[in-house]
């Protein structure tokens, strides 16, 4: 009989249930954080698109013709996200390395590295062919 008259416990249970429902509804409204990891296919397409966009108006070939390795590094850094590491090697048509020092933005940030080769032709009268190898790695990928 005393249990039916004591309503404080029932109110506390209802209050706890409503508080837990409020917390659950707040947690469902928090958006999921996008994954920082790119798959190797995404990195390969990023590398290819980077080289294509830089070479769309002949800018890439001009930088290589002038041996402007610093300008080439700065151009690639401006296109790629900050979380992506890159290393670029420039070869001539006989696969001899042309750049005397590494064109990169630091050390590799992951064990997963994607490499893309891109053929580029100069626009001068000598028509020189260059092969650019761009290696990318995403920070946080395994």
pLDDT digits (tens, 9 = 90+) for 23-42: 888 777 777 655 544 456 78
With both helix axes pointing from N to C terminus, report the angle between 69-79 and 40-55 in degrees, rounded to the nearest 10: 130
Structural domains of the chain in order of their starting residue, each with its CATH number: 40-138 (3.30.1140)
Report which DSSP code applies to 97: B
Q: How far apart are CA 72 and CA 66, in angstroms?
A: 10
On the question of pLDDT at 13 being above 60, the answer is yes
Q: How far apart are CA 47 and CA 87, in angstroms?
A: 11
Residue 123 near residue 62, CB atoms below 8 Å: yes
Calculate the alpha carbon distances from 66 to 32, 49, 63, 74 in Å.
Answer: 47, 23, 5, 15
Which one, of 28, 86, 9, 23, lies nearest residue 54 by Cα? Answer: 86
On the question of pLDDT at 117 being above 80, the answer is yes
Q: pLDDT tens digits, residue range 51-99? A: 898 888 888 888 888 898 999 999 898 888 888 888 999 998 899 998 8
Q: How far apart are CA 138 and CA 72, in angstroms?
A: 20
Q: How far apart are CA 61 and CA 55, in angstroms?
A: 7
Residue 45 near residue 104, CB atoms below 8 Å: no
Q: Enter the pTM of the model.
A: 0.67
């Amino acid at each position: 009989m005393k249990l039916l008259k004591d309503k404080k416990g029932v109110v506390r249970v209802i209050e706890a249930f409503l508080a837990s429902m409020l917390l659950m509804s707040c947690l469902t409204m928090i958006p999921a954080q996008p994954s920082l990891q790119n798959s190797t296919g995404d990195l390969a397409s990023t590398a290819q698109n980077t080289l294509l966009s830089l070479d769309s108006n002949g800018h890439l070939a001009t930088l290589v013709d002038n041996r402007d390795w610093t300008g080439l590094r700065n151009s690639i850094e401006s296109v790629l996200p900050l979380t992506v590491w890159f290393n670029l090697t420039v070869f001539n048509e006989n696969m001899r390395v042309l750049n005397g020092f590494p064109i990169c933005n630091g050390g590799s940030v992951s064990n997963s590295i994607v490499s893309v080769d891109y053929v580029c032709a100069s626009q001068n009268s000598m028509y020189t062919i260059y092969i650019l190898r761009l290696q990318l790695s995403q920070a946080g990928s395994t």
